[in-house]
Amino acid sequence: MAKKIFGWFAPKRGDAVLKMVEDHLGLTKATVENLCRMIEEVSRNEVESAKSFFETLSEMEMKADAMRRDMVEELSKSEMFPEEREDLMELVRAVDWVADWSKEAGRILSTIPFSKAPEEMKEAALNMARENKNCVSALIECIKAISVDSRKAVALANEVEILEEEMDELYSVARKLLATLNFDGFTTGALILLNMFLDALETVADWCENTADIVRAISVRVG
């Protein structure tokens, strides 16, 4: 499967690394999906369930970090060309930020009384989280397309960019709600953290777009 996804690299070199990249993408998607579930559960004040989803996404992010470190070691002894190593590492570092910011969003969410937030804010945050799921799914398809059709990969990279722009609109809606709604039960500190939570959600989509830019550059080079 790894060869199929990353077939733009020369065959029979770095197979172990390519499989790690595939697994890394799966772990990253899992962090984004578990963050969305966590927000759903926190919104319903399902504390234990929300905690479970945060623990799962934290575990996925830690595994992704460990896999990235393993890839650095594997790349140092692989037979890939230098430009192949550079492409892989730049791609993996960017994807890793998607997982990192998903965990950061979950960490912040676990510290604020989000269940007390107005329903409009809960829905706004969920809309952002769902858009992140769309972004990361489109990104994975974008990466897979490189070896199949570089023009399709570029088109999918453009789709990721469009989804990120839609996220910007959702982010604007959420921030307007933050400025205009009454947040009973929130201290000033909790409101600051709520703003940071929204920032983290938006940053997940930003890193999907950043990664898509790398895919676009690779596609142009191998197209």
Q: Which domains does the chain have, with CATH numbers?
A: 2-222 (1.20.58.220)
Do the Cβ atoms of 92 and 32 come closer than 8 Å?
A: no
The token duo for 44 is 């319903």
Query: Which residues in 46-84 are b (16+ Cβ under 10 Å) and which e?
Result: eeeebeebbebbbebbebbbebbeebeebbeebebeeeb
Q: What is the pLDDT of residue 70?
A: 84
- For 188, other C-beta atoms within 10 Å of its C-beta total 7
Q: What is the pLDDT of residue 7?
A: 57
Percent helix / strand / coil, the chain, rounded to 5? 85, 0, 15
Q: What is the pLDDT of residue 29?
A: 95
The token duo for 77 is 């002894």
Do the Cβ atoms of 165 and 212 come closer than 8 Å?
A: no
- 10-residue block means of pLDDT along the chain (223 residues)? 52 61 88 97 95 96 90 74 79 91 97 97 98 95 84 94 97 98 96 98 97 88 67
Q: What is the pLDDT of residue 51?
A: 95
Q: What is the pLDDT of residue 144?
A: 83
Q: What is the pLDDT of residue 8?
A: 53
The helix/strand/coil state of 45 is coil
Q: What is the pLDDT of residue 204?
A: 98
Query: Got the DSSP string for 118-148?
Result: -HHHHHHHHHHHHHHHHHHHHHHHHHHHTTT
């990361």: which residue's tokens?
136
The dihedral region occupied by 9, where left means phi > 0, alpha psi between -120 and 50, and beta the remainder, is beta
Q: What is the pTM of this model?
A: 0.91
Measured CA to CA in angstroms, residue 130 lies from 16, 134, 158, 167 at distances of 32, 6, 19, 10
Q: Which residues contact 144 (CB under 8 A, 6 or more apart)?
A: 5
